Chain A
């Protein structure tokens, strides 16, 4: 049985802003969807289904998809909501099209952490109440535990950490302009060994992609073909995991592209990073470097995170989804000021979610459609 190939044919992401005050979340999402459809030269009437990724803790809306359904154009249409991580929305949209459920699917994700008085309150209730919640676990604390475990095994690598921080900031300035550099973040210890500047800088962002099966890709569209998809979860209990490595990311990468050498020769990798130190473990999990040697490739700019990645511009819960948007945009030649030249033909996007990267998703994008599927 020949199953359809699937491509990204349109996308949009808003510029990262520390706080979007002039638009409600619903308006941010609506404008993003309109722009993604325009990029694909389509209208909402061309869309057969919509898949969104939400988080009910992030924005004060229980069943967040309800109020956002209109913004994404879902009234009178098929809408599916993924809540385990917005990055899964892309995965599920891909599965939908592969299974013959429509020709074009719109997939959308957003993060507006400025809507929360303190995002960490929402993160704390994601720890189960019997053991972990009392510990005060947040995403930052979990990233600190991950970084601590990595340093304990491989050393502090202070120079390499500085290099990652500077490389990401430099690319983000190129990608987004001065806005990401304007927000003052006083440096202080957040979760040992991580300082403020080691951790993701949260921003309000929304992003959308239009996916199409091969027969629905027009000659006028520039596709980024999805050639591999993998996603996996690790254990929830931090005490059972080796936090110095990101095993879910490793498994997801192997699923998406079993050939490690092929992964190493990807021209672009957009990877969500838990922290500066976490970037080393992420590169290792993706198979780009051997264990303990992630620092040797993490600053191989601009191939790793040419957009600057999520450290300088972390779009809340959508940060991972945005990595896929950026990776596909590079292949489509639509990455704006961050566009690499010559235009890459092979890119990889990677996202993580949950405490210390419990879950991970990897997607590969190619300019050439895989033949014989």
Chain B
């Protein structure tokens, strides 16, 4: 298989609303930033991959087609990925696959989202569920993950304060990230004082609805060597897996995987580890950008990544683990999805932030001596999972 590297990264500052640009113009901002970072132009791009999740969030069906003129993609191979919240992560994997196939040398993955454009994102997301059963429940991403959080807390003894500590950690990280949406530090008490939305999830446990763009330029090893890009970040492996759609199949004796855990995320991550030659993630992975839109999700996602045994992540967080300055893998030094969630590109940002870390370009949020990073993405009803391992070298990961 051909080696594939990341040679350009761009992201805007993420905010609640942008009224100064259209959706295509926003995508263009991200693309321009990545191309400038790569010192290339759109004319150099041999293919384009667009991550765009539910069309309804921007109010335009197949909105990717609207983008073509604005970013200068006419005449090029162009396709769109939609795996829900995992879209950005899957789109990076699609860009990787373009190049690994031998058909392309350099492609751009570029997208944006403006979640606040919809009057009610949760009303849109309720329509993800089937008409006959779960839509009427009514499930949305908050009520669905509240069920998971209840289950986790009951099985492992975690508390709402344990969940709040995830928010506190990530907000402290986001304060160092100039692109993050929610950058104000917060305390456990302040999180506990926020409005209850769906027990045990409170407003302070949830991500914002973000608007912004992100893009990434990927290239073959041949291209990277030929153009002397010594600072390229290598995609060492990719993997995906899928959970059952049905919430009712996640509990009980016939469950395919317990709703408390993230079994298929674990499968995706450990498949990616195996492909990258990682056998002991606690010592071999330096930094992880884990897709966790709610505080409760980060608890079982840390465990799925192998950084803690099941039911142990919240205790480790209380002891200071996974925060900047701690020993072992640092989780979400950017502040993560909990502080910034432009759905279509959130997974892309996870890979971008992991790549910035291993290339030493993460600024105030830099993890010292980071060489190997993990990025994940989650989509659907906690259903579609993508995992990507990046490193600043092509040697065996030790």
Chain A residues close to B by CB (< 8 Å): 1, 3, 49, 54-57, 60-63, 65-67, 69-70, 74-85, 88, 91-92, 94-96, 98-101, 122-123, 125-130, 229-237, 240, 247-248, 251, 255, 354-355, 358-359
B106 at the A/B interface (Cβ < 8 Å)? no
Q: Is the CB of B90 within 8 A of A3?
A: no
A94 to B79, CA, bound (A): 14
Give every chain B residue within 8 A of A230 (Cβ-Cβ). 77
A300 to B57, CA, bound (A): 46
Could you say which residues of chain A place their CB within 8 Å of the CB of B97? Answer: 92, 95-96, 99, 101
Q: A69-B242, A75-B242, A78-B240 are in contact. Are A233 and B380 (CB under 8 A)?
A: no
Task: Tell me the complex Cα distance, A95–B49, Å.
Answer: 13
* Cα of A49 to Cα of B256 in the assembled complex, Å: 19
Are A60 and B131 neighbours in the complex by a CB distance under 8 Å?
A: yes
Is there a chain A Cβ closer than 8 Å to B54's Cβ? Answer: yes
Residue contact A80 to B90, C-beta cutoff 8 Å: yes
Given A80-B90, A92-B94, A233 contacting B56 (CB threshold 8 A):
no
**Residues in B neighbouring A91, C-beta threshold 8 A:** 79
Q: Take A62-B125, A95-B101, A236-B66 as given contacts and tell me if A67 and B130 are in contact as well, using a CB distance cutoff of 8 Å.
A: yes
Closest Cβ neighbor of A94 among chain B residues = B101
A76 to B124, CA, bound (A): 27
A81 close to B83 (CB less than 8 A): yes
Are the CB atoms of A233 and B59 closer together than 8 Å? no
Point out the residues of chain B lying under 8 angstroms from A61, CB to CB: 127-128, 130
Q: How far is the CA of A69 from the CA of B384 in the complex (A)?
A: 9
Contact yes or no, B243 A75, CB < 8 A: yes
Asked whether, in the complex, the Cβ of A76 is within 8 Å of the Cβ of B61, the reply is no
Docked-complex contact B80 and A67, CB < 8 angstroms: no
Return A326 CB to nearest CB of chain B, in Å.
Answer: 22
B53, B65, B80, B246: most-surrounded residue (chain A CB, <10 A): B65
Contacts A76-B241, A76-B256, A237-B69; is A83 near B127 (CB within 8 Å)? no
With A and B bound together, what is the CA distance between A3 and B55 in angstroms? 36
Given A99-B97, A232-B75, A358-B65, check contact A80 B127 (CB 8 Å).
no
Select A233's contact among B63, B78, B102, B127, beta carbons within 8 Å: B78
B223 at the interface (CB under 8 A from A): no
The answer to whether residues A83 and B69 also contact, given A62-B54, A62-B56 and a CB cut-off of 8 A, is no
In contact, A82 and B125 (Cβ under 8 angstroms): no
| Contact sample, A vs B, 15 pairs, CB 8 Å cutoff | A62-B56, A66-B84, A66-B381, A67-B129, A76-B264, A78-B239, A81-B82, A83-B62, A95-B97, A233-B65, A235-B69, A236-B69, A255-B77, A354-B65, A359-B78
